[in-house]
Amino acid sequence: MQTVNNKSTEKTILVTGCAGFIGSHLSEKLLLLGYKVIGIDNFDPFYPRNIKEENMNAFFQNSSYTFHELDLRIDSSLDIIEDQIDLVVHLAGKAGVRPSIEDPQGYIDSNITATRNVLDFMRKKGIKKLAFASSSSVYGNNKDVPFSENHNVDRAISPYAFSKKSCEVLNHSYHHLYDLDIINMRFFTVFGPRQRPDLAIHKFLKLFRNEQPIPMFGDGSTARDYTFVDDTVEGIVKSCNYLFNHEQVFETINLGNSYPILLRDMIDIIAKNAKCEPQINHLPMQAGDVEQTYADISRAKKLIGYNPQVSFEEGIKRFITWFDNK
């Protein structure tokens, strides 16, 4: 789907976290649309470097792509970049609720400090446009569903969640002080080809293929608003488009699918499409996990024309095809 005008070739976009799951899909899409892309990644050892290098195979040799390996936690690390940049998509950071409980300082450094360094780089370079990757985790165990951007998000239940909320607040301060145009994009459980190996869908399918039991935390009634990666990337591209065409912007939007799937149903759908018989290992709920996520996407639809297209089961079929052929 074409979502940018023919002037995209005049624009350069900096993508942090470009070697990751979402970042690699986004970089590939932006290059196809005619943008010049500068990619940043530090190959955080949360999962193996070779996986991230493989993620970049599709576009690494593209003449419109430039890559820098650097650590955003280090002050002024971005100063080596001399190119003129029109917009930053900041995806880099530590992800995951459970690991954040074990290493809260790591999440403060990689999410909050790194975001401040990105913002300071933008301020110094005169870059005015930022699309920021936030998370549905900021909603915590909100009882009001679907989750609306108008809901109070002051009750984070994990260090990961509070780091993302802190970044949103930090972004607003730079918007106010330095006239940066910013959209905070709250992602809802993105899945699809290249998904991180620690995430449930990837982990469960691998266990199925190895005929090992699936760990199910709780009674299976927790639910997630799974969003296929192509739909998330389309939402990011549309956010960039909006930023390019508007000034005095500070917005927060949900990029979800608005269709929660129960954990037990998710397991059944993967098993059916993988043609496996699930073995379930029942375990207690884990600290920091929310009971459900459920996106109200009406603001994103109105603001940027966001309209997810891929159903959960169709996305699972595509993921299984990728997994079995990688």
Domains in the chain: ranges and CATH: 10-190+229-257+290-309 (3.40.50.720)
Mean pLDDT of 194-209: 94
The DSSP-derived string for 188-210 is: --EESTT--TTSHHHHHHHHHHT
Radius of gyration over every alpha carbon of the chain, rounded to an integer in angstroms: 19
Whose CA is closest to 136, among 113, 112, 111, 153? 153
Q: Give the pair of three-digit tokens for residue 263.
A: 């954990």
- Which pLDDT does position 2 carry in this prediction? 40
pLDDT band at 1 (very low <50, low <70, confident <90, very high): very low
Residue 154: CA atoms inside 13 Å, Cβ hemisphere, count? Answer: 1
pLDDT tens per residue, range 14-23: 999 999 999 9
Residue reference for tokens 């009750």: 155
Residue reference for tokens 């990666």: 229
Whose CA is closest to 243, among 175, 295, 167, 168? 175
Residue 228 pLDDT exceeds 60: yes
pLDDT tens per residue, range 295-325: 999 999 999 999 999 999 999 999 999 999 9
Residue reference for tokens 């709920």: 285
Residues acting as catalytic residues = 160
Compute CA distances 228 → 177, 203, 260, 299, whole Å.
36, 17, 13, 19
Residue 75 pLDDT exceeds 70: yes
pLDDT tens per residue, range 264-290: 999 999 999 999 998 899 998 887 778
Whose CA is closest to 135, among 102, 158, 113? 158
* DSSP tag of 295: B
Decide: residue 39, CB within 10 A, 0-12 exposed, 13-18 middle, 19+ buried. buried
Compute CA distances 155 → 51, 99, 265, whole Å.
34, 19, 28
pLDDT tens per residue, range 110-162: 999 999 999 999 999 999 999 999 999 999 999 999 999 999 999 999 999 99
